[in-house]
Structure 1
Amino acid sequence: MKKIYTLILIMIQLTVFAQDPEFSQYYAAPLYMNPAFTGTAADHRFIANYRNQWPNITTAFQTYAVSYDYNMEKLNSGFGLLVTQDKAGSANMKSTQANFQYSYKVHLKDKWMLSTGLNFGLGFRSVDYNKLVFYDQLEFDQDGIRLPPPSNLNLQNTSYFDFGAGILAYSRKIWIGVSTAHLNRPNRSLTNDEAEIPTKTSIHGGIRIPLYHGVFKRDRVAAIAPSFVYKRQGKFDQLDIGTYFLYEPVVVGLWYRGIPIKQNVRDNISQDAVVVILGFQLKTFEFSYSYDITVSDLGPISGGAHELALKFNIELATQARTKKREKFIPCPTFNK
């Protein structure tokens, strides 16, 4: 039964306009969400993300992302590299994309920053059709040997150019941004047909609230950070809303993914998952794990989703840069 389900997933990927892969820990993958986040840390930042969605289904969906970005303060600019790969199904369907990102920052009044970002990507898509079993192969020749795959599949690897942009406004405690991916609607068909990637729009924001009263000690950072992200791509839309709680070095989070005021095609509440996050945050190193508890019609049979995020921040601590750092306002999501 799992093999049949896997084959269905692959055929869906081949024939419909698939949405982009997603990360539940979306603020742990900032360059993936909005190129305007490029260079919003103090100096150098390295991030690695991994997501395993629906693990109970054989080789269902796995997503990887690795990014590096740097704040070049003299140019009011940020530069970044982002590489993502999404794997689906037993036929090893892969979508890999390498992205160069650039952002430019402007100091506004009242200690606000405005960052505009661009994303230039080169994508590659492939599938190993020799691992698929097609209808024609269910027949056998006179010697009882299964027939080879049909020769008229016309499946081939493909490459495409991708372009996106975003804007982000933030102070030391508040941030709000908008990004649009796939502005050129690239075609990534494996069969020389039309398979455009729909434009994806994301609106996201949040606030960081310090906690220094009662049981929280002043020598340890304590804060909550409620936030949201709304995404729309083609006919698909999604809302994630929740909060982080940090009591240094421990970080916990709780998120809900769904749109309760909307109904799906089966007239049920449009909801997907409740996400639980646990991690720790040090000065230059952060690690977090999250689990998606599926609350949609798919239910617990899917196995939910596991996700890991790893981040390194490397600050070049010299006296000259320390004086300049006072003029730089880092994004509150990723700094203390």
Structure 2
Amino acid sequence: MTAPITKAGPGTSSRASRRASGVSVALPGKAVPRLLANVILIVIGLCFLIPLVWMVLASIDPKASYQTQVPQSFTLSNFSAVLTPELAFGPLWNSLLLSLGTAVITVVVAVLAAYPLSRYQARYNKPFMYTVLFGTTLPITAIMVPVYSLFVQFNLLDSLWGVILFMSAAALPIAIWMAKNFMDSVPISLEEAAWVDGASAMKALRVIVVPLMRPGIAVVFIFVFIQAWGNFFVPFILLLSPSKQPAAVSIYAFFGQYGAIAYGQLAAFSILYSVPVIVLYVIISRGVGGSFALAGAVKG
């Protein structure tokens, strides 16, 4: 008994050949959502790209305004006007001290706090983590009045180290949460092998866990650094001397009275203000790349 022979349509052979060659056929129903997603991404990209284009063009325009336009003549006078100790070097140095100090203290304390939460099972772990998560939702503006009173009582007002300690404490909840998640990905069997060899918990943390979670530490460091770098409210309230103000506060020097704004100098200062963060990101991303390669670390 022979099987019935079906007659192939004109498009059957072409579809079969495309299926055999591995070429997927996009259905019309999937093309519309994909096109809509691409349009949304392009619009979001333009929302970020247009201010950057304005900043670059205005920084070299002697007659810069709030409008995005190609300058008729190019000049570097805006950069030379802001490259002074009062406008650029001093505030950028203060921002670097505040951000680096805050990031280093926060990362060290977060790693030490995340280690017992990640490695030891206790009844208070979940309540503590939920409390930490709740601490990330507290706005800084809601606690600045008691913090200001506390700084006055401890004579920490107008102190860079006092501001660093407070900003570290404010960034600590989210840093602990992030550090614990990164530490959970490090196999505990490596520490158990070190414990068998006589290493203490702190030595295992320093020698094994921290080197293996360097990308996670870098992420926490960059996150805290950027938050401290762009923090305006805390230094504005707790630092009174103009010589101690960071760049996030001193940028208001370009906003004059009666609505007068030095757009060109503001754009030039904004470019200089963003350079240290970009350089730090490039250095850290190259320094920790590929350090999560744990293959071969645990013997099968």
Superposition TM-score, scaled by structure 2 size: 0.28
More helix by share: 2
Higher relative contact order (CA 8 A, sep 6+): 2
Superposition TM-score, scaled by structure 1 size: 0.26
Larger Rg over CA atoms: 2
